[in-house]
Amino acid sequence: MTRFIHDQFAKQYLSELLSPLGTVEANKEVSSEVRYIDLFFTPFDGENPRRDELGLLGRLTNTPALFEPFRNPVSKNEIRTCLLKLLTLQQEWERQANRNQARISEDQLPRLWILTPTASANLLESCNAVANEAGIYFCGDIFKTAFIVIHQLPVTPETLWLRLLGRGSVQRQAVLELEALSPDLPLPKILGLKPRPSRTALYYNIGVRVTSNVGRTTTNLTNSIVKVRGFQHNPC
């Protein structure tokens, strides 16, 4: 249930953040066996000032992209499933281009971003993933795949919107920073409506209940914490 709540939250949260920059499709179906991409993003043409506001997340939206967020550390099997979705989609695009007697350049092909709270060195090494900068690991260019290891991201405004998808102390720190932002900065609706929500309300809306004793947090496993409409859960 915890993974289900995080999956629903992550999809609506990212949808709201990215929709000013391009077209967002949640649970996009790809052919062969029926499979669903958690979030598929197509950028609008031209420059968009909102991209800079999203920091690192905005930098991930320069090209069409698959976003696959995970509540728990991603496994090898889950990585293979995500790669299968990417390759199936690329094949669909290439077939469509051939029918239209057109060509797709490498730069036009979609990229896969796997968002995971942590990833072991062995896992990353098995994917030949190399750190481009702290917390960002790219596989060989032919695979067009990268890992965002959220708990390794530096604590800067540039990474805030991605760290909110972390766990435990990483997510709590991001909530503190979010609470301190300018009241004029619009928040995704899923984080709370105006007036700006309190820290406790932010935790509540993200799917974490703040306990009043010993400073701990507990995950509420009821559907009432994150009220997300319009999505059906399709596991990666």
Query: pLDDT at residue 53 above 70?
Result: yes
Q: Classify strands 145-149 and 136-138 as parallel, antiparallel or unpaired.
A: antiparallel
Q: Which residue has the higher pLDDT, 77 or 12?
A: 77
Q: Report whether 5 contacts 16 (CB < 8 A).
A: no
Can you give the pTM of this predicted structure?
0.76
Assigned token pair, 186: 């619009």
Q: In the chain, what are the domain boundaries?
A: 2-164
Average pLDDT over residues 226-236: 31
* Strongest mean pLDDT among 2-16, 147-161, 202-216, 222-236: 147-161
Q: Which residue has the higher pLDDT, 219 or 198?
A: 198
DSSP string, 92-146: HHHHHHHHTT----GGGS-EEEEEES---HHHHHHTT-EEEETTEEE--GGG-EE
Q: Report whether 117 contacts 170 (CB < 8 A).
A: yes
Q: How far apart are alpha carbons 155 and 16 in whole angstroms?
A: 22
pLDDT of residue 218: 33
Q: What are 53's strand-pairing partners?
A: none
pLDDT of residue 86: 94
Query: pLDDT at residue 67 above 80?
Result: yes
Average pLDDT over residues 5-33: 80
Instruction: Report the range of poorest mean pLDDT among 55-59, 136-140, 228-232.
Output: 228-232
Q: Report whether 17 contacts 55 (CB < 8 A).
A: no
pLDDT of residue 31: 57
Q: Which residue has the higher pLDDT, 215 or 92?
A: 92
Q: Which residue has the higher pLDDT, 54 or 226?
A: 54
